[in-house]
């Protein structure tokens, strides 16, 4: 961040009073002045103002009225009111609405005023850092590494349905994205189901950044493998001493993410007791920090994800039906990657670009053989698995060159046969003879070894303990050869 002076906007209809303030503050602050609220609004729109110092008595509207409007449009600005009259009554009644940080009485003492403003600046910084930190801490690992410099607009673009969720023209993900974009603007709770690594969290982010809450926080809270007390304190917050080790008050996510969206990840694993507590929040929009007797209001859109079939959990009595109906306003199921193999080339190139930025290493793209091997593998760990595979390939690959199929892990290459049968069914099938079954496995092994050695037959035969002639014979028998088109390459961004 730059070390430039903090910007302060002074609004006062009395020119002399304005000048006096400006003179005193100009050393330490970048001072903007406005004689009317209209001018002030223009300045707020054009500048990044941290503090607004506003006179209470102005011809068109009172300072409190104006600051109430400012609060709605620019909630982060620290609002301070200056008053020369004994109209404290008026001000105090409006303090809450306008969310006034401090109220300065005239005549003001320059040093004291500067001190108050310095405190206001640190308050602004704290508030900002707190907000950024809250988001940053909860962001996916990848994104968290990036600077937040371009702000949420960038995030918004990153998670747009067109750019953020990569898919092909004929992908079943198109229908899913249509549904997501339809429900995004409404404050409906959405249940997102799908196998691990399919992109549930990504879908939740896309909903958030395409909703009216997009400029507020998005937070993820994992519900599995977290003790209930910890989960409760994370979401509801606690008072000092309310639970073991709580040396100070902690604000919960329901408060910190006020106005934003929370994804409750793996909601299927919530304990029955916690389900009751959550139901109360969902029904009444209220919660109570642990150890506090004060009820707080919350304004959160809840999204939930589950790797288990939640309807099943309800049927089996493990998940509350009433909570289920509240949470599953709309259900979206993300298909596993093996059911949308047509997405693999685009996705692989997209993930490769991401990995190149993260790792700081450039390659030209994938060889066509690498792509076709990737298309044949079933990816039980879905997009996350292919993402890891690509990162590993990039690390192992030669800079500026194409990433070849030889860089893929053996498990991927083993499935690289065009028949695309999984290992188990191949061995256990009863419709084939023993010879056929053994041969099918043999083909897989031969192909894996050949791809890994870039079809260098001497190396492959040595590894497999075969003579070159022996290997040649097998290749002829099984019609195994490098596919023509696999010599081509798949350049990034084609």
Ligand X SMILES: Nc1ncnc2c1ncn2[C@@H]1O[C@H](COP(=O)(O)OP(=O)(O)OP(=O)(O)O)[C@@H](O)[C@H]1O
**Chain contacts with Mg ion (rule: CB under 5 A):** 201
Helix/strand/coil for 87: coil
Among 200, 208, 216, 320, binds ligand X (CB under 6 A): 200
Among 124, 307, 402, 455, binds ligand X (CB under 6 A): 307
Q: Between residues 6 and 199, which has the closer beta carbon with respect to ligand X?
A: 199
Let me know how long the chain is.
Answer: 494
166 binds, among ligand X, Mg ion, none (CB under 5 to 8 A by kind): ligand X
Q: Between residues 263 and 352, which has the closer beta carbon with respect to Mg ion?
A: 263
Residue reference for tokens 């401090």: 102
Among 24, 127, 179, 196, binds ligand X (CB under 6 A): 196
φ and ψ of 491, to 5 deg? -75, 145
Instruction: Give the CA angle between residues 165, 198, 363 to the nearest 5°.
Output: 60
Query: Interface residues for ligand X in 320-379 (CB under 6 A)?
Result: 347, 350
199 binds ligand X (CB under 6 A): yes
Query: Interface residues for ligand X in 373-432 (CB under 6 A)?
Result: 383-384, 387
197 binds ligand X (CB under 6 A): yes
128 binds ligand X (CB under 6 A): no
In whole angstroms, how close is the CB of 222 to ligand X at the nearest point? 8
Q: Between residues 108 and 377, which has the closer beta carbon with respect to ligand X?
A: 377
Maximal CA-CA distance, the chain: 104
468 binds ligand X (CB under 6 A): no
171 binds ligand X (CB under 6 A): no
Q: Between residues 66 and 307, which has the closer beta carbon with respect to ligand X?
A: 307
201 binds ligand X (CB under 6 A): yes
Q: Which two tokens stand for residue 232?
A: 């409760």
Q: Is the dihedral of CA 275, 190, 188, 131 positive or negative?
A: positive
Q: Between residues 202 and 314, which has the closer beta carbon with respect to ligand X?
A: 202
Q: 316: Cβ–Cβ under 8 A, 6 or more apart, which residues? A: none
Helix/strand/coil for 304: strand
Q: Is the dihedral of CA 159, 163, 169, 171 positive or negative?
A: negative
464 binds ligand X (CB under 6 A): no
Report how far residue 288's alpha carbon sits from residue 344's, in angstroms, rounded to the nearest whole number: 46
Report how far residue 455's alpha carbon sits from residue 315's, in angstroms, rounded to the nearest whole number: 54
Q: Between residues 332 and 446, which has the closer beta carbon with respect to ligand X?
A: 332
φ and ψ of 375, to 5 deg? -70, -25
Interacting residues with ligand X (CB under 6 A): 140, 142, 165-167, 194, 196-202, 307, 347, 350, 383-384, 387
């Amino acid at each position: 961040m730059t070390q430039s002076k903090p910007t302060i906007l002074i609004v006062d209809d009395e020119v002399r009073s304005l000048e006096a303030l400006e003179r005193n503050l100009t050393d330490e602050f970048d001072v903007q002045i406005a004689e009317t609220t209209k001018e002030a609004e223009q300045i707020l729109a054009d500048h990044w103002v941290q503090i607004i110092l506003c006179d209470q008595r102005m011809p068109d509207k009172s300072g409190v009225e104006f600051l109430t409007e400012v609060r709605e449009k620019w909630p982060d600005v620290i609002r301070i009111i200056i008053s020369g009259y004994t109209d404290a009554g008026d001000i105090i009644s409006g303090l809450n609405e306008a969310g006034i940080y401090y109220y300065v009485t005239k005549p003001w003492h320059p040093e004291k005023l500067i001190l108050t403003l310095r405190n206001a600046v640190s308050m602004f910084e704290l508030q900002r850092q707190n907000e950024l930190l809250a988001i940053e801490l909860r962001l996916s690992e990848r994104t968290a590494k990036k600077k937040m410099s371009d702000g949420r607009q960038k995030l918004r673009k990153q998670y747009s349905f067109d750019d953020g969720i990569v898919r092909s023209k004929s992908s079943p993900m198109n229908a899913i994205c249509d549904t997501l974009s339809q429900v995004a603007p409404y404050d409906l709770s959405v249940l997102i189901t799908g196998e691990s690594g399919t992109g549930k969290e990504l879908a939740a982010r896309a909903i958030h950044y395409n909703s009216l809450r997009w400029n507020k926080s998005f937070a993820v809270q994992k519900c599995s493998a977290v003790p209930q007390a910890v989960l409760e304190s994370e979401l509801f917050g606690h008072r000092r001493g309310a639970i073991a080790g709580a040396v100070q008050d902690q604000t919960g996510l329901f408060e910190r993410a006020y106005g934003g969206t929370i994804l409750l990840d793996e909601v299927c694993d919530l304990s029955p007791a916690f389900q009751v507590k959550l139901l109360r929040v969902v029904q009444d929009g209220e919660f109570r920090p642990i150890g506090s007797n004060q009820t707080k209001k919350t304004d959160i859109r809840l999204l939930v994800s589950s790797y288990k079939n939640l309807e099943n959990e309800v049927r089996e009595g493990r998940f509350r039906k009433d909570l289920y109906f509240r949470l599953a306003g709309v259900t979206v199921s993300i298909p596993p990657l093996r059911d949308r193999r047509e997405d693999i080339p685009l996705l692989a190139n997209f993930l490769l670009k991401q990995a190149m930025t993260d790792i700081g290493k450039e390659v030209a793209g994938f060889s066509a053989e690498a792509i076709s091997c990737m298309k044949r593998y079933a990816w039980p760990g879905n997009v996350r698995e292919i993402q890891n595979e690509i990162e590993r390939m990039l690390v192992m690959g030669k800079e500026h060159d194409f990433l070849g199929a030889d860089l893929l892990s053996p498990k991927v290459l083993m499935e690289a046969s065009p028949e695309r049968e999984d290992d188990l069914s191949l061995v256990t099938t009863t419709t084939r003879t023993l010879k056929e079954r053994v041969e099918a496995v043999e083909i897989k092994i031969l192909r894996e070894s050949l791809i890994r050695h870039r079809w260098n037959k001497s190396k492959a035969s040595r590894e497999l303990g075969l003579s070159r002639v022996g290997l040649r014979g097998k290749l002829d028998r099984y019609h195994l050869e490098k596919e023509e088109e696999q010599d081509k390459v798949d350049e990034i961004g084609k």
